[in-house]
Homo-oligomer: A and B are copies of this chain.
């Protein structure tokens, strides 16, 4: 007997799981379409070289590799790899289909990615990302619309206590310079700063020291980024790049006034974001009852250039579907109307010979807009009703010899313990009505 577990860190989604996932995905899609983002899908597997070297050393280790097929299998060599995120495949698509794609391209993509992480609570080896990106413009309208769209998604899902924190990579780097940290150490310093909300000020001080940053510079840095009110032309003496970045950030914030992001978005100069490919604004979304983030993103104007002899401005946001589902589940945010039963009505017969009649009745009920299950066997009627009850199916439509002779249908509402006899032709409409009344 073969064992029956799904692969380690991966999950089977039973009907109730799928319905919750599709409810969230449906809202994400609807909102992104409203903002003019278009759907894109890429293959689960990419050529190995497309992914290698794009995610840093740690990322390389976590990529699932696929063995060459055919006569090369025995070599143990891999030529393909499973998609690790949705950003690198997007950059590849922009480069490959350049002639078919518009100069300004706004796309969303909702697909699984795979990482060979050690599985833990809430951390899986297969999980969905909901990405939204704008390619082709450096305008702050791009960032503002991304924040507005993401905020609108969260509001429509029923979140109202989220914060979108924004910062700017060039502003951070300018502050690092002001504090006397030289350019080659910027990346390593930012990795430490990124941990501020996880390990606290003392933890970051220690980590900055480990990474070779002098204690005076480190202390200055942590003091400056904690003073948002002192940023800008009249505050801390930033270099030109820093001032430009500050202005860009101010524009983004101004543009979100009056959008769904208003009241949720705020600058946070301690935000660093781990990924090395960000070049401008960076964003992250948090809710109070979740340790990590619900999503994040930023501007990455140089990534497409790794696939194309030309740079293409780009900026995007990624929402973590699994984390959204966890919080929504814990908070009870799924609408009660979300189907948890396989059907609205189950059709039951006493005698297998009446099955052809049951099929026709089921067809008429479906034509009225109902979801209908035909109980396939002529089991005892009590057993059939018990089955419907155990599945939460609200109505059972019974077809016995009387009903067939009279062209009627006896319809039981299981929870209310009531029953009505309808003409077969009008039963569908009557059940639809009753279903609406009972909520």
Q: Which residues of A contact B (CB under 8 A)?
A: 1-7, 10-15, 17-19, 21-22, 33-47, 49-50, 61-62, 64-67, 69-70, 73, 75-78, 80, 82, 92-93, 95-97, 100-104, 106-107, 112, 114, 116, 126, 134, 137, 139-142, 144-145, 148, 254-260, 306-309, 339, 342-343, 346, 352, 355-356, 358-360, 363, 366, 370-377, 387, 390-391
Contact A34 B356 (CB under 8 A): no
A50 vs B4: C-alpha distance when bound (angstroms):
7
Contact B104 A363 (CB under 8 A): no
A65-B67, A359-B148 as given contacts; A44 in contact with B43, CB under 8 Å = no
Q: Given contacts A44-B44, A342-B36, are A307 and B76 in contact (CB under 8 A)? A: no
Minimum C-beta distance from A322 to chain B (A): 13
Cross-chain contact B35 with A15 (CB below 8 angstroms): no
Residues of B within 8 Å of A66, CB to CB, are 64-67, 82
Nearest B-chain residue to A78, judged by Cβ: B67
The contact sample of 23 A-B pairs, CB cut-off 8 A, is: A3-B50, A4-B96, A7-B46, A10-B44, A12-B41, A12-B97, A13-B41, A15-B40, A15-B107, A18-B38, A19-B39, A33-B371, A34-B366, A34-B371, A36-B343, A36-B346, A44-B112, A44-B126, A61-B69, A65-B73, A66-B66, A148-B363, A258-B360
Query: Which of A19, A45, A258 has the most CB atoms of chain B within a 10 A radius of its CB?
Result: A45
In the complex, chain B residues whose CB is within 8 Å of the CB of A75: 76
Assess whether A3 is in contact with B141, with CB atoms less than 8 Å apart: no
Chain B nearest CB, measured from A149 CB (Å): 10
Are B102 and A144 in contact, with the CB atoms below 8 A?
no
Write the chain B residue with the least CB distance to A48. B7
CB of B4 within 8 A of CB of A307, answer yes
Pairwise interchain contact A43-B308, C-beta atoms closer than 8 A: no
Contact of A36 among B10, B104, B371 (CB under 8 A): B371
**Which chain B positions have C-beta within 8 A of A359?**
141, 144-145, 148, 255-259
Known contacts A36-B343, A359-B259, A363-B258; decide if A42 and B376 are in contact (CB<8 Å): no
Docked complex Cα distance between A383 and B174 (Å): 36
Across the interface, do A3 and B36 meet the contact criterion of CB distance under 8 Å? no
Which residues of chain B have C-beta atoms less than 8 A from A376's C-beta? 104, 134, 137, 139, 141-142, 145
Q: Are A14 and B366 also in contact (CB < 8 A) when A35-B372, A308-B1 are?
A: no
The chain B residue with its CB closest to the CB of A102 is: B391
Tell me, rounded to whole Å, the shortest Cβ–Cβ distance linking A194 to chain B. 25
A97 B14 Cβ-Cβ under 8 A: yes
